[in-house]
Structures are given as structure tokens and as C-alpha cells.
Amino acid sequence: MGSRRWLFVVLGLASSAGFLWLAFARLEFDDVRAAFRQADLVPWLPLAALSYLAGHFVRGLRCRLLASQDAKLTTLTATNVVVLGYAVNNIAPARLGEFARAAMLTQRSGLPYIQSLSLTFLERIMDGLVMLALLAVALWALPVGGWVTTTMEFASVVFGIAFVGVLLAVTAGDYLVRFAGQVGQIGGRRVHDRLVHAVNQAVQGVRYLRAPRAALVVVLLSGIVWLFEAGMFLCLLPAFGLEPSPWVALLAMTVTNLGILVPSSPGFIGPFHFFCKEALGVVGVAEAVGLSYAALVHLTFYVPITAWGVVILLVHGFHLSSAMQARAAASPLALPDLDDMPPPPDLPPNPEAREITRALCEALVPVDSLSAESRHEVLLETSAFVEGQLEALPARLRVLYQMGILGVRLITRIVFVRSLCGLPLERRRRWVEKWAYGSFGLGRQLFRAIRATALLAYYEHPLVRAELAATTKLRPKEASSRD
């Protein structure tokens, strides 16, 4: 291991030790042991384990659907991929399971490694958002607040930022690839090609979500996953004589899973127990009972999946060393030396870029005043001129412009639930004019270059000048006829 990895492992072990101390700080070990011994394990423990395992089959189905655009997996194979990730997280440090899972998905499906990794993190982001929603439901039903509400607010910021990234990849993936290429040019050709390669694979990982119906199915499956996991927490409440309240189960499940996001030892020992005990404490459960309950939930969480993962390792011959190498390299692909490769041929501009430039130009210039025969040609040539001028900007200004337009497109998607290019012309024109001529200074600065360039190209176009000249000549004749 490198020094940074050792530092992460040591930090995780120290974190686990600290949370274990916090969990036991005010307790007598004999009280915890007595509460654990009095637990009624049958039939609650088997039911809890079945509920947790059933959730992993739903996770496998979700994984299969997300990868289905580029790979054909059976639900069982996809489930094994998911389980392997959880099992490796239980036995290896530094959340190596995420990388082991991505490496196995690449091995079983042939997907590029970064695309497999993006699928893994996409599921983690969706899980976080669903957990936040379920925690909000639990807080609505239970009279609790304080640090639980603070935890939800902090997690909302983290997962909210991640959700914006996913939304950008889903709605403007081609634009992100193009933007990555222009940023990469600052660091030279090697950086450019590798960055474009990585961003393109990451965008491909979320491609399944571009269809609204498919995205809805994945969201529903994510909800079912965490309801099954909440079922594990629910089934173990009566084992300790506690009321089987679904709201308490949701509270304990969400707080515990958000809590184990902090660095810890393999298996999340320490944070799991502390946050689970504290979640029960806010609804009045005694600390000794809460910690005993947390220990039993952790065993139910740990043992079946770890055993299943070990079987996968034995059957498929998948080695942890390959996952560690993939984690270090962030890609299992042996890419050639890009400096020795011939330069790629000149490619036409990206169609998405032409589309957004054309949509903005159409909203900024009065094309509807032209005749039907001239309108299409003038718009195409005006937008092509504007795009050429934008491409000629210095790299720093070009990057800033594209970041701004990306933000406008995202806000448009949120406000209108449609893309900027998909808005009807009159609505798009009013919306663009609010940015280009409104009271928001940064918006005016952002649109100044494209606005001025588009108007220049439009009024200098031969067809526009010819129609304007014809209109000017007609006006004296019309005036004299009225006299």
C-alpha cells in the first residue's frame, strides 16, 4: 500500500475505535450482555436475514437494468456482483468493495472499468437520495429532531451536489464530454485524451436513465431495496421486546446507513453500532437495549452477505489483488502511449453543440421577419459563424462560457421540465431574453458574446441585407401611393 492508503486505513481504524468508545462510554458491558442474552431470536432473526437478502436480489435487478444498454447480464450474475461489493467492504479496508464490484462487473460484462465504476457510484447516489426521503418520512411520523435533523440536512447537501452531477450527465452528457475535451486541452494531449475517455465512460454509465420510464423504474426499485433493508431493522425490534414500529425501523435504518459513510474499519464496526444505538435512544429505548439491538442488526447485516461473497470469490476465482490494482490505477485498461499515436482526423462539430448554438441564435435574432425561403439558410449560417467565433476564444474564456451555458441549460430543465432546445420558439425567446437583457448582471455578461456575434452575423448575411434593402425601397412607394 502507498502512504496515502495506509493513512486512510489508519484513519478508519481510529474512527471505529472512537465510535466504539462512544457507544460503550456510559454503559456497563454486563448490562449489554444481559440484554443480548434475553433477546428472542426465533423467528425474528431468520425473518430479518431473509428481508435483507431479498433486498440484494432487487439490487441485482437494478444493476442489470442500469447496465442493459451495453451488456446482457442475468439477474443472478448482477446480484453476485452487488453482493461481492458489500462482502469486500466487510472484510477489506478503505471501501475496497466499490472497486472490487466494478472490477467484477467489467470481468463479467465486458464493460469498460470506469463505466462500471460510474454505475456503482450512481447506485450509491440513488440510495442516498432514497434514504433521505425515508428519513424525512420517519421524522414526519416521529417527534424527534436535534442532531437527527442536522444529520439529514448535512447529508442532503452532499447527495444534492451528487444528484446535480448525475442530472447533468443524464441531460447534457454530450456537452460534458465536449467540455471535458476543452478543459483537457489546457493540460496537453495526454491529459485531454484520458479525461475525455473517462468522462465519456462515466456518461455512458447513466445512459439508461435518459428514458423517463426507465428512470422511474430504477427509482422504484431503489425504494424497494431500502424498504427491504428497513424490514430487517423492523423484524429485530420485537426480538428485544420493542414495539415493531415501521417509523422507528425507518429512523434506525436511515440514520445508521448515513452514519457509516464516515471512514471506519472493515464492516463499519463502531459507527454502525453507535449511530444505530443513538437513533433508538431518541425514541426512548434504553442504551443497553439499543446497543444490543445494534449488535444483532450488525451480525444480520454482516454474516450472510460476507459468507455469500466468500462463495462468489471461491466460485469465480476473483482475487482481491485485482481490485486493489484497479483502485490504484482507476482503470484496468492498458491504454497505449497516446504520444506515439497518430493525431486523430478532424471531426465535424458535435451535433449537440450545433443544436444548442442554433437554438440560442434563433432566440436572439429576428429570423421570423425573413421569408420562409431565407429563414433556414440564414439561421444555419449565423449559428455556424457564432460557433466558430466561440471556438476561437482563449481556452479560459471558452471554458467559462460553456460552464455558464451548462448552468442555464440545467436551470431550464428544472424550471420547464424540458431542454432549452426543446422549448417552443416564443417561450425560448422570452427565456433567453431574460438572461441576455434582464437585471441579472452575470447573465448579461454570459450572453454578451453570443448575442453580439449572432446579431453581427445575421445583419451582415447577404439574404438579410437583400430583404432589408427591398423593404426600404418599398416604403417610399407605399408612402406616395397613400398620398
* Distant-in-sequence, close-in-space partners of 11: CB < 8 Å, separation ≥ 6: 263
- The number of beta carbons lying within 10 Å of the beta carbon of residue 362 is 20
Could you tell me if 391 and 317 lie in one domain?
Answer: no
pLDDT of res. 331: 39
**Owner of C-alpha cell 471554458:** 399
Q: Specify if 45 maps to a domain.
A: yes
Within 8 A by CB and 6+ apart from 58, the residues are 221, 224, 225, 228
Residues 180, 57: one domain?
Answer: yes
User: Does residue 409 form part of some domain?
Assistant: yes
Shared domain check, 385 and 287: no
Q: How far apart are CA 410 and CA 105, in angstroms?
A: 31
CA atoms lying within 13 Å on the CB side of residue 407: 11
312 and 402 fall within a common domain: no
User: Do residue 136 and residue 71 come from a single domain?
Assistant: yes
- Whether residues 269 and 127 share a domain: the answer is yes
Residues 363 and 223 in one domain: no
Count the Cβ atoms, other than its own, within 10 Å of residue 147.
11
Residue 465: the pLDDT is 83
Domain boundary among 268, 297, 329: 329
| pLDDT score recorded for residue 472 | 64
Residues 77 and 215 in one domain: yes
Q: Which residue has the cell 406616395?
A: 480
- Cell 436511515 belongs to 254
With beta carbons less than 8 A apart as the criterion, state whether 454 and 358 touch: no
The pLDDT value given to residue 393: 80
Q: What is residue 3's predicted lDDT score, i.e. its pLDDT? A: 56
20 in a structural domain: no
User: Rounded CA gap, 69 and 53, in Å?
Assistant: 26
pLDDT of residue 475: 53
Geometric angle at alpha carbon 16, from 13 and 17, rounded to 5°: 85
Query: pLDDT 10s digit of each residue in the chain, 483 long?
Result: 445 556 656 666 677 778 767 777 776 677 777 777 888 888 999 999 999 999 999 999 999 999 988 888 899 999 999 998 998 888 877 677 888 888 888 888 888 888 888 888 889 889 999 999 999 999 899 888 777 888 788 888 888 888 888 888 888 877 887 888 888 778 777 777 778 777 877 777 787 888 888 889 999 999 999 999 999 999 999 999 999 999 999 999 999 999 888 777 788 888 999 999 999 999 999 999 999 999 999 999 999 999 998 888 767 655 444 544 554 444 333 333 434 434 433 434 433 446 888 888 888 888 777 777 778 888 888 888 888 888 888 776 777 777 778 778 878 877 787 888 888 888 898 888 888 888 777 778 888 888 888 888 888 888 888 877 776 665 555 544 544
Same domain membership, residue 215 and residue 299:
yes
Q: Are 257 and 163 within one domain?
A: yes
Q: Hey, what's the cell of 132?
A: 433521505
Q: Say if 6 falls within a structural domain.
A: no
Q: State the DSSP string of 355-412.
A: HHHHHHHHHHS-GGGS-HHHHHHHHHHHHHHHHHHHHTS-HHHHHHHHHHHHHHHHHH
First to last CA, the chain: 94
Q: What are the grid coordinates assigned to 250, written together?
A: 425507518
Written as one string, the DSSP assignment of 402-441 is HHHHHHHHHHHHHHHSS-TTTS-HHHHHHHHHHHHHSS-H
Cα 406 to chain centroid distance, Å, stands at 17
* Cβ-contact 92, 235 below 8 angstroms: no
The C-alpha atoms of residue 219 and residue 123 are separated, in whole angstroms, by 10
Nearest Cα to Cα of residue 57 among 221, 218, 230 = 221
Answer yes or no: is 55 within a domain: yes
Domain boundary at 282, 299, 329, which?
A: 329
Same domain, 151 and 195: yes
337 belongs to a structural domain = no
Residue 342: the pLDDT is: 43
One domain, residues 355 and 325: no
Written as nine digits, the cell of 65 is 437494468
253 inside domain: yes
Q: Is residue 2 part of a domain?
A: no
pTM over 0.75: no
Distances (CA, A) of 310 to 23, 33, 83, 100: 30, 29, 10, 13
Considering only CA atoms, which of 135, 159, 145, 308 is closest in space to residue 230? 135
Check if the beta carbon of residue 39 is closer than 8 Å to that of residue 240. yes
Please state, in angstroms and rounded to a whole number, the distance separating the CA atoms of residues 22 and 186: 48
* Count, residues in the chain: 483
What percentage of the chain's residues is helix, strand, coil (to nearest 5)? 80, 0, 20
- Which residues have C-beta within 8 Å of that of residue 79, sequence separation ≥ 6? 56, 57, 59, 60, 61, 63
The range of the structural domain enclosing residue 459 comes to 351-475
Domain total in the chain: 2
CA 342 to chain centre: 35
**Spatial separation of the C-alpha atoms in residues 89 and 255, rounded to whole Å:** 19
